[in-house]
Amino acid sequence: MNKLELALVFHHHQPSGNLPEMFEKAFREAYEPFVDALERHPGVRVTLHYSGALLDDIRERRPAFLEKLRALQARGQVELLGGAMYEPILAAIPDRDKLGQIRYNAEVLEEMFGVRPRGVWLAERVWEPHFPAILEAAGVKYTLLDDTQFEAIGYAPGDLLGSYLTEEEGRAVEVFPMNTELRPLLPFEPPQRFLEALRKLMPTAPETPETPLPLVVIGEDGEKFGLWEGTAQICYEGGWLDRFFEALEKATDWLSTTTLEARVKTARPLSHAYLPSGAYAEMGEWSLPLEAAAAFRAARERGVPVPRLAGGHWRNFLVKYPEVGAMQKRMAYVSRKLHNTPRAPQQAYVHLYRAQAGDAYWHAHHGGAYHNFLRFSVYRNLIEAENAVEPRKYSWLEIEYVDIDADGSEEVVVESNTMNLHFKPRSGGTLTEWDFRPRAVNLTDSFTRRREPYHAGTDLLLDHYLRRSLIDHFVGGEVSLQQFAQGDYLELGDFVHGDFEAGKYRNRVTLRRVGTVRGPAGVPVEVELKKSVRVLPKENRLEIEYKITNHGDWDIITRFGSEWNFGLLAAHAPDRYYAVGGRRVADLGSTFETRDVAQASLVDEWLGLEVSFEFEGREALLWNHPVETLVPGAPGGALEAVYQSSVTMPLWDLDLPKRRSRRLAYSVVVRER
C-alpha cells in the first residue's frame, strides 16, 4: 500500500508591544490546552513555531509551559522551528538585521531547548529571490511558503508533495510548499473529512526505493485552535483536537506524521525551484491601492484562479501608507546608527529587533498599522536603541540635513540628549516626529483618515493631508471647529502641502515658503511665511516664531492656525486629559474650543508627562479634537473607532495689510510628572 507523510506546522505569534491581557488570553485559551492535547497523543509529531515576543514571555513568566515543551521535544514529538526573532517582514529590514534576528532567535532557542534550529518560519510568507543567500549565511537549511507561490509559476498541485531547493549565488535552502486547500478544514470539519481529503492527494504511481514518500505540509496559526471566535468550544470543550489527533494515530497503515527536521534528514528535495517575490494570496490584494484592490477582489469572485492573480508587492505598503514608509525608514536609520557604533550593547540590538516586529508595518482587513499601540512600541524601541548608544548625561544638540526617508529630498534632523525632531521641508515644512527621549515616546505619532475597501457604503471623515505637526492653515473666520475636524472647509493658503526652504543655525531650524493666500473675492495674494523653531534641550522646550508677510497688492483678513497632532494612545482614559490654565477640562477624545488661552496642556499620567503650550504676548483661540479611524474590530467584524491622535491648534485672527508683516510666537514644552 502506498503511504503518505504529513507535516503539521503550527505558528504561534503575538505582536511585540501587544496588550498584556492578550498574552494571558492566548495562553489560557489556545497555547496551553493545545500542548496539553499533544501530551495525551504521543504518536502525533508536529513542528511548532513561537515568535520572539512569546519566547520572551515563556522564558520570563511560564516555567511550567516551558518544561512541557522541553519534554515534548526530548521525546522527539515536537520540533521547535526558528525564525527572525520578533517576526519582522524580512523584506522590510536591512540584510544585516535579517542575519541578526535569525541568529538571535537561534541562540534563544538553543538556550531554552538545547538544540539549534535549522528551519525558519517566514513572517506572512513574504519572499524575495535574494533570501536564500541570507538564510544560508544565517545557518538556515529549510523554510516554508504557500503552495500558491509555486502554482503562480506553473507548478501543479501534484508537483508539490515534497520540498524544493532554491538558491542565490550558490547558497541554497530547501523550501516546503504548504497545502492551502486543506487548511480551511481545520478545525471546522470533522477529522475524518480532513483525512479523506488528504488521502485523495496520494499519488497513484507505485512507490520505488529511490523516491521519497510523498509529503503534505499543513501550516496553521496556533491562534486558530482556541483564540479565534468559537474555536475554544470546538477544539477543547467539544473535543475536536483530541479526535483529530486520535484519527492521525489510527491511520498509521497509510499515514505517518513527521517534523520538517526529520523529513530533511530522510528525503532529498524533488528538484530546484526559483520563486519570484510574493506572499500569500490575500497579501497581494491588501497591498494594492484602493481601486486596484477592488479589481483584484472582483476577479477572484468571478472565479479567476488565485495563482493567476498577480496582486501587489509587499513593499507597496510603504507607499500606500506614508506613515508606515516613514517608520520603516526611521527603523533603517537607527539600524545604521547601531551598526556604525563600535561595541554597541546587545540590548540596543534587542530594542532594534523589537522595533522591526512586522505587525505595525502593514494593514489587511483589521488592525496592523492602524493600531496605535503597535506603532507606539516600534517608536519606543527605536528611541531606547538610540538611548543605549548615545550620551544622555550631558546636554548636547546636533542639526543635520539627512534624507532619512530616501525620497530624494533632505529632512532636517535635530538630535539632542532629551529630544529628537524631524522636519520635512518638501511637505509643508511639517514636524513629522518629535521624540521625548527620557520617556522613549514619539509624541506626534498619528495616522491619517483614509478610505479602505471595507468602508464601502460608509460615510467617512477623510483627511486631505497627512496628520503631522506644525501644519500651517489659513482659514476663513466663518469656519467652525466642527467643520475643520470633519475636513469640510476651504483651505485659503497653499502651505499645507507646499515646499519650504530649510535653514539651520546653532539651535534653530528655519522653514520658509513664498506661497499664496486667497484674498478678497478669492484673488490669490503672494504671502511669505517663515517659521523658526528654537530647540532648548535642557528645558525640553521648543520656541516657535512665525513671520507672515503680505507681498501682494491686496489686504488680507483671515485666520491662521498652527496644527499639532499628539498620539497619546487613549482618548477616554481618566489619566489622560486636557488642562487649560492649570485646570482639567476634558479627556483627549473631546472636541472643544477655548478662547483667550495663555496656557494649555495635554497630560498623560500613564506616561508621566505633560505637553504644555504657552502663549506670550498674544493669547490664542485653541481648537481641540480627536483623530479617529474606522477599522473592523475583527476580520469581517463591525467598524470601530480607533483613536490616532489629539489635535491641538492655536489660532489667531490675522489682519495683514499689503506690504506688511505680522509676528506670532508661542512655546511648547514637555515636562515629566
Q: Is residue 427 part of a domain?
A: no
State the pLDDT at residue 209: 63
For residue 306, what pLDDT is reported? 64
Q: Please give the share of the chain, as a percent, with pLDDT higher than 70.
A: 98
- The predicted pLDDT at position 331 comes to 98
- Span 8-22, mean pLDDT? 94
Residue 477 and residue 340 share a domain: no
Please indicate, yes or no, whether residues 504 and 628 belong to a single structural domain of this protein: yes
Does 305 fall in a domain?
no
Strands 661-672 and 609-614: antiparallel
Same domain for 239 and 115: yes
d(CA 608, CA 387): 18
Q: What is the pLDDT of residues 93-148, one digit of tens each?
A: 999 999 999 999 999 999 999 999 999 999 999 999 999 999 999 999 999 999 99
Q: How far is CA 658 from the centre of its chain?
A: 48
Q: Is the pLDDT of residue 201 over 90?
A: yes
Q: What is the mean pLDDT of residues 204-220?
A: 82
pLDDT at 206 > cutoff 70 = no
> Rounded to an integer, what distance in angstroms lies between the CA atom of residue 509 and that of residue 535?
8
Residues 62 and 182 in one domain: yes
Q: Which residue segment(s) compose the domain that 490 sits in?
A: 453-672
Would 428 be classed as within a structural domain? no
Q: What pLDDT shows up at residue 205?
A: 64
Secondary element (H or E) of residue 166:
strand 164-168
In tens, the pLDDT along 265-323 reads: 999 999 999 999 999 888 888 898 888 888 888 887 887 776 656 678 899 999 999 99
Percent of the chain's residues with pLDDT above 90: 89
Position 391 confidence tier, pLDDT thresholds 50, 70, 90: confident
Cell of 513: 515658503
Picking from 369, 390, 411, the residue at the C-terminal end of a domain is 390
Tell me, yes or no, whether 383 and 489 share the same domain: no
Q: How far apart are CA 62 and CA 173, in angstroms?
A: 34
Provide the domain count of the chain: 3
Across all residues in the chain, what is the average pLDDT? 95
Look at 163 and 1; give whichever has higher pLDDT.
163
> Is the residue at 123 inside a domain?
yes
- According to DSSP, the residues that pair with 524 across neighbouring strands are 518
Q: Which of 142, 132, 216, 233 is nearest to 180 (CA)?
A: 216
pTM (2 d.p.) = 0.95
In DSSP notation, 474-524 reads EE-TT--HHHHHTT-S---BS-SS---EEEEETTEEEEEEEEEEE-GGG-E
Could you give the CA distance from residue 421 to residue 493 in angstroms, rounded to a whole number?
Answer: 25
Question: What distance in Å separates the CA atoms of residue 63 and residue 290, rounded to the nearest whole number?
Answer: 46
Q: Which three three-digit cell numbers place residue 559?
A: 485666520
Q: Could you tell me which residues are beta bridge partners of residue 168?
A: 171
- On whether both 97 and 211 belong to a single domain, the answer is yes
Decide if 665 is inside a domain.
yes
pLDDT tens-digit series, residues 422-465? 999 999 999 999 999 999 999 999 999 999 999 988 999 999 99
As a whole number of angstroms, the distance between CA 426 and CA 495 comes to: 11
Query: What does the pLDDT average to over 626-655?
Result: 93
Statement to judge: residues 95 and 154 lie in one domain: yes
636 and 574 inside one domain? yes
Q: Residue 521 pLDDT > 90, yes or no?
A: no
Other CB atoms within 10 A of residue 583 CB: 8
C-alpha cell at 206: 507505485
Read off the pLDDT of residues 332-344 as tens digits, 9 standing for 90 and up: 999 999 999 999 9
Is the distance from CB of 383 to CB of 440 less than 8 angstroms?
yes
Q: What's the whole-number mean pLDDT along residues 150-177?
A: 95
Q: Do 6 and 220 touch, CB atoms closer than 8 A?
A: no
Give the integer Cα–Cα distance in Å for 637 and 607. Answer: 31
**Structural domain contains residue 289:** no
Q: What is the model's pLDDT at position 284?
A: 84
Last residue of a domain, one of 338, 372, 390: 390
Q: Is residue 649 in a domain?
A: yes
In this structure, the answer to whether residues 266 and 327 fall within a common structural domain is no
Paired residues of 79 in beta bridges: 47
* Same domain, residue pair 52 and 104: yes
419 occurs within a structural domain: no
Strand partners of residue 402? 411
Tell me, yes or no, whether 273 and 328 share the same domain. no
Q: Considering 278, 296, 331, which residue would you say is the last residue of a domain?
A: 278
The pLDDT of residue 264 is 97
Are 209 and 15 a contacting pair, CB within 8 Å? no
* Same domain for 328 and 202: no
